[in-house]
Chain A
Amino acid sequence: MYANKIYSLAYKMVNNHEDAIDIVQEVFLRAYKNWDNFKGLSKFSTYLYRVAVNLCYDFLRKKKREKKIENLNYENYPFSSNSNSGVEENLMEERIIKEIKNEIDNLTEKQKAVFILKTFEDLKYEEIAKILKKRVGTIKATYFQSLQKIRENLRKKGVIKNEM
């Protein structure tokens, strides 16, 4: 289902459940409203991802301006049974994952979008290029930079100990 895919992307981009749901709704509204403009030149999922990424950019910019701090509250939402998979990780593993998550949040909007679409949505570079309207080379370079940035910061925090 598209909604969960878009939600997954939006959630990772904005890091807030409520906002991610709002973005999903807005994505579908815009898709519905602009249905006549969708010429079928790209896949529908690509089109939805594009709208979602743009909305996430808008949201992040707005949030940056407002400097709003929000707390996460998932308890009131009906998560499916597989949502808690991976919870049984050991503490070290959890710390690493948490650190990586923080580092993803610290990426720039564009790096974040590329990283999420590639790593979590498993999209090809060509698909990401279509969504973000960039060249494949640019997407690859952005992905490389985002990985490098995460690596450097993890190293500074002592999560990664390899020499650079």
Chain B
Amino acid sequence: MRCKDFEKRILDLIDGKIDFKEKKFIERHIQVCDRCKNLYNDFVFILEKAKGIHHLELKEEFWKSKLDLVFERRIHKFLLKPVLIGVFLFFLIVGPLIKRVYFLSPQKIPVSVVKTDVFNHELPFTEDEIIKYSDYMSEKEVEKILDFFFSNF
């Protein structure tokens, strides 16, 4: 075995991943080659001492609180955007409908106008128009006008 071959196998030797036959070859080489023997001993020495490097381990509760906090913040951050967009879209779509139902319809058929015209026996609207505007009115409003209409006829 040459020194170059030894260098290629030294890491597997340290990991103990070398078969018996090859190990014998390597041991024979180490016996006659001080350079490779020192290399092996030094590597083993370094790795053994390195294992003694101060190892810090934090309690699980610490990580739990730390990571929970981060995820909570992230969830809030993630949720805030869609919620705001959702609210905006909701008002964008539903807003005009609300406007039509609650603000337009009562003004379209003022009771006073209907009242006046009913007394004159003339309706302000054609039948189609009444149907159309009644769509904008709440059921109670329609009933109110109809009651008024029939009670005065």
Contact = CB atoms under 8 A, between A and B. Distances in A.
Contacts of B10: 144
A83 B57 contact: yes
Given A100-B53, A104-B50, A79 B58 contact: yes
A100 B50 contact: yes
Interface in A114-160: 119-120, 140, 143-144, 147, 150-151, 154-155, 160
B38 A80 contact: no
A144 B59 CA distance: 34
Chain B CB within 10 Å, residue with most, of A3, A17, A33? A3
B79 interface: no
Interface string B59-95: 1111100110011001000000000000000000000
Contact of A119 (B35, B39, B41, B51): B51
A25 B57 contact: no
Q: Is the interface of B mostly helix, strand, loop or mixed?
A: helix
B53 to A, nearest CB: 5
Nearest to A94: B52
A80 B58 contact: yes
Given A29-B70, A83-B57, A164-B35, A144 B62 contact: no
Of the four ranges (under 10, 10 to 19, 20 to 34, 35 or more), the interface on chain B belongs to 20 to 34
Contacts of B58: 3-4, 7, 77-80
Contacts of A104: 50, 53
Interface residues of A, number: 46
Given A24-B67, A80-B58, 19 more contacts: A3-B67, A4-B57, A7-B57, A12-B53, A21-B66, A24-B63, A25-B67, A29-B74, A77-B58, A83-B55, A85-B55, A86-B52, A100-B46, A101-B53, A104-B53, A151-B39, A151-B46, A155-B42, A164-B35
28 contacts: A1-B60, A3-B58, A3-B60, A4-B60, A4-B63, A25-B70, A28-B71, A29-B70, A29-B71, A32-B71, A77-B62, A78-B58, A80-B57, A80-B58, A82-B57, A83-B57, A85-B55, A86-B52, A93-B49, A96-B49, A97-B49, A97-B54, A119-B50, A119-B51, A151-B39, A151-B42, A151-B46, A154-B42
